[in-house]
Every structure is written in structure tokens, then in C-alpha cells.
Amino acid sequence: MPIDRSGILLAIPVYNEARHIESVIGEVATCARDILVIDDGSTDDTPKLLAQQNVEVIRHAENRGYGRSIRDMLRWADFDGYEWLITMDCDEQHEPEAIPDFIEAIEADDADVISGSRYLRSHDGDDDPPVDRREINRRISRELEERLDLRVTDAFCGFKAYRIEACRDLRFDVNGYEFPMQFWVQAVAAGLRIKEIPVRLIYNDPTRSFGGPLDDSSNRLESYLSVMHLELSRCAEKLSLQSRE
């Protein structure tokens, strides 16, 4: 069933993206009516360039992390009465021309979370991901399947669509790049319907920093697993109920 585009909010987290912000928003505006940008404490020209765009902006006074930006997007979408939130990155690794694929998946009305996967299907011109990132993604995806029976092929893709009503009662407190670990556990515990759709695998900057200790792949994996295991413990009762249904 066709969905009213006024019920969809397209949101983009940015941090020092002056190089890409104008081109990405220009392309996104051809596919989305309502656009929200979370400026996570940028120190370059990003705030000035955003002021010239026809978008809503939430600006963090300091860098608070990727997870905090997603949490703010979900709250804003709920507060403003949107039915769906589509999130994508601003580093030109997510193609705006894929937005209609998410809208088509939304219109199928058979999922609460639609997650892009860079590994579900190969595309001509796909890039090779950094080895450590691919291996961590595999490890985390495998553990999500083993512990939650969640079969996702890409645990970290930020190109997603969230049904706001389905996510309303989820409670997040993770601010950093570990946020997907908390999200996946809570989504399964809440019985959300999850599906993946293929998106292109693009790595414009394989050396891009995660910041601080997370630039070390072993630290990053340990941090992801720590958040996942903590959330599994927190949600143990709900997960047990889900497994009985």
C-alpha cells in the first residue's frame, strides 16, 4: 500500500562533513520531503553550510556519539508524529538513490525495522571493505544469530528504516558506535519484525577513525561484545518470553 511521504522523516547524523553535506542533502532532497540533520558537535564548516540548507537541524554543543544521534532522531520523529524514520550517513557511502527501495519495503508493511545490508547481494562496483571491519561484522552477526536467532548479514549498516510506533517503548542509553548492539537485542526482545534489503558496499575512506581506543580493532570488538552481553542480561526475561511464543 502506498505510504504518504509526509509520514516519513529522513535523518542524517553528521560530524565534520563539510566536504559532503551540500551534495548529499541535494540528492536526498529529490527523494525525501522532510529531512533532519543531527550535527554532532562539528568543528569545521558543517554548521555554516547546514544553515544554508532547507532542513531541520539539531546541533549538539559537543560530540556526543553516533548512538546519541540515532536516539535523538527516533525521539524527534516520534514527537513530530512521523510513522517512519529512515537514517543514512553523510559520507557518500550510502546512496540517496536507494531511498525509494526503503520506501518500497515500508509499503510492503511486513516489517518494523528495515536494515540495509552491504553483504546480502553483490553489486557491480562494490568496494572491498577493510579486513578488520568485515571480520568484526561477521563475528557480531554470527553471535546475534547464535544468541538471538537473529539472521542479519550486516550488523552495522546505518542505512535503516524504523517504524516509530514499534520502537517507541525501547529504552536506549548507549551513545557511541556500540549502539547497534543495544538496538538489536532490544528489538528482538520486543518482538519487532526485522528484514534486510541490499545496498551497495561503498568505502570512500577505509582509514576513517572511530575515535580513541576504538581505532584498535580488538578494542572495538571487545566494546561491541560488552554492550551486547550487558543488554542480553538486561533483556533476559523478555527474551525468554519471546522464545516461548
pLDDT, one tens digit per residue, over 2-57 is: 777 789 999 999 999 999 999 999 999 998 999 999 999 999 999 999 999 999 99
Per DSSP, the three-state class of 37 is strand
Which residues are within 8 A (CB) of 222 and not within 5 positions of it... i.e. 6 or more apart? none
pLDDT of residue 205 exceeding 70, the answer is no
CA 163, 7, 202, 208 torsion: positive or negative? negative
Cell of 141: 552477526
What is the C-alpha separation between 104 and 100, in angstroms, rounded? 6
Instruction: Give residue-wise pLDDT tens across range 130-153.
Output: 789 899 999 999 999 999 999 999
Which residues are within 8 A (CB) of 67 and not within 5 positions of it... i.e. 6 or more apart? 172, 174, 175, 176, 177, 178, 179, 182
- Closest to 159 (Cα-Cα) out of 56, 90, 65, 59: 90
Which residues are within 8 A (CB) of 202 and not within 5 positions of it... i.e. 6 or more apart? 92, 93, 94, 95, 118, 126, 127
What is the C-alpha separation between 48 and 64, in angstroms, rounded? 20
How large a percentage of the chain has pLDDT more than 70? 93
The residue behind cell 562533513 is: 17
Q: In this predicted structure, what is the pLDDT of residue 211?
A: 79
- Per the structure, the complete domain to which residue 147 belongs is given by 5-244
212 compared with 12, residue with greater pLDDT: 12
Q: How many domains does the chain have?
A: 1
Confidence of residue 209 (pLDDT cuts 50, 70, 90): confident
User: What CATH number has the domain bearing residue 29?
Assistant: 3.90.550.10
pLDDT of residue 92 exceeding 70, the answer is no
What is the C-alpha separation between 228 and 152, in angstroms, rounded? 15
Q: In this predicted structure, what is the pLDDT of residue 5?
A: 75
Neighbours of 122 (CB within 10 A): 11
Task: Tell me the pLDDT of the chain averaged across its residues.
Answer: 92
As beta bridge partners, residue 84 has: 8, 163
What is the C-alpha separation between 196 and 110, in angstroms, rounded? 12
pLDDT of residue 163 exceeding 90, the answer is yes
User: What are φ and ψ of residue 128, in 5° steps?
Assistant: -90, 125
Q: In this predicted structure, what is the pLDDT of residue 1?
A: 62
